[in-house]
Amino acid sequence: MGEKVRDREHHERLFKASMSPVRRKIVAAIGVQGKTREELKKELDLSDFQLKFNLDWLLREGFLKEEDGKLKLTDDGIELLEAG
């Protein structure tokens, strides 16, 4: 039973993330190589608020991690990237 709940929660998180064009754009820009916040800010046409709000959400929900000053996709982030 616990497995089904986790699967449902996982799919709900993926759905919420995929429904946001901004989040999909951020995940695609980060890609498999990773990017710094500054690189994303230069590359994406987003306000500071949009970028921070969505990065914070993606980090909190486990789609991104920050290592050595770079944002990188987690396994869930890669799954979101592949889902398009």
User: Could you tell me the mean pLDDT of each successive run of 10 residues in the chain, 84 residues long?
Assistant: 67 87 95 94 93 96 95 94 84
Q: Could you give the angle at the alpha carbon of 81 between the alpha carbons of 18 and 49, nearest 5°?
A: 60
Task: Supply the pLDDT for residue 44.
Answer: 95
Task: Supply the pLDDT for residue 84.
Answer: 73
Task: Supply the pLDDT for residue 3.
Answer: 53
**Residue type for 17, please?**
A
Task: Supply the pLDDT for residue 7.
Answer: 87
Task: Supply the pLDDT for residue 18.
Answer: 86
Task: Supply the pLDDT for residue 58.
Answer: 96
By the 10 Å C-beta count (0-12 exposed, 13-18 middle, 19+ buried), 17 is classed as: buried
